[in-house]
Chain A
């Protein structure tokens, strides 16, 4: 957090999506350090951790993550009572539904604008089966670019997690998100290279500035950058009511 803050940036603590009892002491310790170390907020995907954060570090704002399964305004309202100040609604929701939750609950929404969308999480890493066979040990195993492919579509495996094979890309739809009142946008880069993080983030930094100025003109170099880092192509997730791997727009 010091490194991030020394650069004038904001640091956030993220937490386990599906912890068991034996993880809770570690979570409590991390929350304590985050609260005293100046974290902006804690990202919480698990309702038990949300309660712990609310009870034990109430001054630390809670940002609810996509695995917490917020599908409705009613769900958002409940979590607001536990200190949630920002919510990533479940990825299956359409933009109109997200707009409505934001309006009805008064809570800011955090939207995935680029990157591989989380699709599932497990207690178990099946890649460990290949440690001996491939001669690659954990944690190097899940750092490889591994994709599960079938019939022309695919998903990315990161061991205990499954991500979309395609990268969600909302580059050409940023003005729509801004018009919807949203201001918190996320690039999901948990399994990506430093170059991906640097170059895609630079594209969105510039594009957001452009969209907020009200004069949105897409640059070809933006598209060259995002396409370069997208192995299986681009999609819009569920924002437009289609299957998550579909892309709706002028550009693929």
Chain B
């Protein structure tokens, strides 16, 4: 049975996701998760999140999806036992270096190559299998047929981001914001000198994007201004194709949205819970009214 994997940026959101039927919830850990609009949990909150999930027979996964610099990498590796002591067994990572380092040091961990790793093909899936990933997240832009080919690689679980913002630039392949403005700033609440690389989504510490892609641009050539242009961006939902994805062998149906408040996240998770349950029993897919989230979600963050 496929897992419904929901996001949570706060304990309220985590509670809402669990109550709505999530089998597992992924959260960010402050300092090592892409921040910005996304909520991140501190250690006390992570401990409480693990308790809340365990009480419902659900799992908490931790997204460590920045690329730490060498000094920060050592600090991160040293903190893993603390997470494991809370019962955390699945980490979502964004870099092949950190994935292999974690796999070598903590064989009991289950490591997921995040959507930011950019896997889009069966060859990518095979690569991540070879370096020790237990799972890989594919974007919902891949349909069930492509997902099925990726599942046939075998020996690695394929997860699909079934509900996401599809931005113009591919996830993990953008450094437009830092081209315009890169500014190290102190990370709130951190006394040890940790800094956010504002503008960079991926660099050590916490990357925070300020979404220049969501602003209107003037498109001009040598003759002057031709158009006012915005990069295309849309809310992508594959809820109508839950059954084909399950038939394809996808192990987890994942939702994007660590920035979502509990009052939006709960209904979103519930909608996918019902769709999965219907698909599993062979019942018709429930009627849904689109979109699931306000249009502004594509602008304010995921």
Contacts and interface: CB of A to CB of B under 8 A. Distances in A.
Report if A and B associate in a common complex: yes
Interface of A: 17-21, 23-24, 46-52, 67, 69, 71-79, 82, 90-92, 97, 100, 117, 119-124, 126, 130, 134, 144-150, 153, 155, 157, 162, 164, 238, 241-245
A243 B199 contact: yes
Given A123-B141, A150-B215, A164-B179, A69 B95 contact: yes
B185 interface: no
A23 B99 CA distance: 27
Contacts of A19: 120-121, 123
A106 B180 CA distance: 32
Contact of B176 (A72, A79, A119, A241): A119
A20 B218 contact: no
Contacts, number: 182
Interface string B169-186: 110111110111111000
Contact of B231 (A72, A126, A149): A126
A157 B98 CA distance: 33
B175 A48 contact: no
B127 A147 contact: no
Nearest to A246: B182
Interface of B: 67-70, 73, 95-101, 117-128, 130-131, 141-142, 146, 149-150, 168-170, 172-176, 178-183, 199-200, 202-204, 212, 215-222, 225-227, 229, 231-232
B226 to A, nearest CB: 7
A78 B179 contact: no
A231 B40 CA distance: 42
Nearest to A73: B70
Given A69-B172, A74-B100, A124-B232, A47 B226 contact: no
Given A50-B127, A75-B96, 13 more contacts: A18-B120, A20-B146, A48-B125, A48-B127, A52-B123, A72-B73, A75-B97, A90-B175, A119-B175, A123-B170, A126-B232, A148-B219, A243-B181
What does DSSP make chain B's interface, helix, strand, loop or mixed?
A: mixed
B167 to A, nearest CB: 8
Contacts of A155: 176, 179
Contacts of B100: 74, 77-78
A92 B179 CA distance: 8
6 contacts: A20-B146, A47-B119, A69-B118, A72-B73, A92-B175, A97-B69
A92 B205 CA distance: 14
B219 A17 contact: no
A71 B179 contact: no
A194 to B, nearest CB: 17
A24 B122 contact: yes
Contact of B220 (A82, A120, A146): A146
B275 to A, nearest CB: 25
A243 B180 contact: yes
Given A69-B202, A145-B221, A149-B220, A47 B122 contact: no
A126 B229 contact: yes
B173 A120 contact: yes
A74 B217 contact: no
A249 B109 CA distance: 47
A182 to B, nearest CB: 19
A231 to B, nearest CB: 8
